[in-house]
Amino acid sequence: MRLSLLVLGCCLAILVPADATRAAASRTDVDVCIYGATSGGVAAAVQACRMGKRVALVEPGKHVGGMTAGGLSAVDIGDPRTVGGIAREYFTRLVASYGKTLQWDQPFKSTGGPATGGAYSIEPHTAEKLFLQMLAEAKVAVHFDARLKSVEKAGPRIRSIATDDGRSFAARVFIDATYEGDLMAAAGVSYTLQREGNVRYGETYNGIHYTDKYKPRNDHKKPGANGRVPGGQGVWDRDIPLDPYLVPGKPDSGLLPLLQAGDPGRQGEPAPGVQAYCYRLCLTTAADRLPITPPAHYDPRTYELVARFIAACVAHGDSMDLRWFSKHDPLPNDKWDFNTATFGGNLPGASWEWPEATYARRAEIAKAHENYHRGLLHFLATDPRVPEKVRTQIKTFGLPRDEFTDNGGWPHQIYVREGRRMVSDLVLTEHHTFGKKVAADSVSLGSYGTDTHEIRRIVKDGVVIREGKTAGGRDGAPPYPIGYAAITPKQAECDNLYVTFALSASHTAFSSIRMEPVLMATSQSAATAACFAIDADVPVQKVDYAKLKERLLKDGQVLEWKGK
């Protein structure tokens, strides 16, 4: 029998039989219903409860915190001065548990790479523990294993949502804090899964995209001690010309595994596809580490392309180590946050189906990513074609015994870098993220670079290439506002819903906006606005922004950039 967790008081969690709970009351009536207990969902729930509203936080899975508690442990912050409110409170409390203090008034100090803050590096289980603590302190009711089945609407207004186990949740205002935009889509709100193409909004990096930085070439420079070459590119992003065919030089023999068929297309053309997903592994060198076992049907032939990559790097003169296959950042207590690489955790193409897939199908897609990644790590540890240094290094890592304990040490959250994106009255584009336009009615600030992971790994001009990857800056533009109208649907479509991750943005703008601290800040602002909409009995699109701004600032949100 499954259990449902009701967080009822300060640090008090009571487990009750789920069946008994549903028999007593299968319908829950609240003021604000938040679907998705991501980091943003938690921030929204805490804020609404602090403002005196009855809140239901409805989570399709078994955990809270999303990627912030699911393996994204070296947190991408951007400029710390843009982070306020509950997000700042959360990270301040989190690092304090490690005896650290964050300097929120100081800019990020680069060491040659992007704004991933070492001071923000934390253990996943500690992150989730604090999320649960903050929910308990705010007296938020959390409903786990509640997978969305349907939405009941009256005109443009959501009345209630139903889950596949018979529960329903009625509310005056709803917030979709999922990575996929599931509630938004079920409510009939316009969205896209298309890379719009540059012509649509007059952009530069949208649609099909190739950049010289990731063009296969043989003139890579030698890295320094930090694994980066002059200019900042890491050895984990090393694109070398590789033959893509089962029999080298023979297209008729077919493509190697890990490649997608298809026309390379033309630069800037509209195209389908979302960013590659992966697992952000938390690995440890502790003596009691768990082994990373290969998948049941492991086949080294799956990784022939990786073997060719290794041979090409060695021929290039690279003294390869583990960083060629994963940027990895240190965490407390002998742990490391493993990111992806040219051949790392990302599995381009396998993520495309995810946003529209059923929960059952998503479980299969997640397992395919896990099997691929487990197989890759086993290949790197055991295959004789892998340099001995790499084999030796990977064998020193394993899964921590105290992380993801209900999943054998493997993360329970796949990294959904991009799902559906709402199309509303305001669509944030490159013009906003690059500082050429300023969105009105700010609810939070974005500050990260234009960081788009590859969409496809395909063949172009006879060699393997990663299409869709940018990982650039914003031409020195300052942090930018995320406008209120980007988190509200068109009023005719839905007048009591906020969308905080799958918000209204172009594909390329979203690649900057998508960071976890931004999700937390935006979601807190949405919850505050939801309370105002309830109190004034108006559609979310009609909330008085002047009053909203006053409250957001009172709560410590950062809405305008005043730095240098």
Domain ranges of the chain: 3-194+419-450+481-554, 206-407
Which residues have CB under 8 Å from 224's CB, separation 6+?
112, 230
Would you call 194 helix, strand, or coil by DSSP?
strand
Question: Whose CA is closest to 502, among 426, 419, 432?
Answer: 419
Average pLDDT over residues 343-371: 98
Amino acid code (one letter) for 401 = R
Average pLDDT over residues 95-117: 72
Which tokens in the block code for residue 48?
Answer: 């609404």
Average pLDDT over residues 317-323: 95
Pairing type for strands 328-331 and 281-284 reads: unpaired
Average pLDDT over residues 418-444: 98
Determine the pLDDT at residue 539: 98
Is the predicted pLDDT of residue 9 greater than 70, yes or no?
no
Reported as a single tens digit per residue, the pLDDT across 238-251 is 999 999 999 999 99
Q: What predicted TM-score, i.e. pTM, was given to this entire model? A: 0.94
- How many Cα atoms occupy the beta-carbon half-sphere of 248 within 13 Å? 6
Q: Return the CA Rg of the chain.
A: 23
- Res. 110 pLDDT band, cuts 50 70 90: low
Reported as a single tens digit per residue, the pLDDT across 202-236 is 999 999 999 999 999 999 999 998 899 998 899 99
Question: Whose CA is closest to 190, among 492, 482, 431, 484?
Answer: 492
Residue 99, classified by CB atoms within 10 Å of its CB into exposed (0-12), middle (13-18) or buried (19+), is exposed
> Do 205 and 430 meet the contact criterion of CB atoms below 8 Å apart?
yes
Is the predicted pLDDT of residue 186 greater than 50, yes or no?
yes
Which tokens in the block code for residue 179?
Answer: 């990575």
Q: What is the DSSP letter of 141?
A: E
Determine the pLDDT at residue 115: 46
Reported as a single tens digit per residue, the pLDDT across 49-99 is 999 999 999 999 999 999 999 999 988 788 899 999 999 999 999 999 988
Mean pLDDT for the chain overall: 93
Question: Whose CA is closest to 532, among 557, 551, 555?
Answer: 551
Under CATH, which architecture does the 3-194+419-450+481-554 domain have? 3-Layer(bba) Sandwich (3.50)
Reported as a single tens digit per residue, the pLDDT across 456-499 is 999 999 999 999 999 888 999 999 999 999 999 999 999 999 99
d(CA 122, CA 99): 12
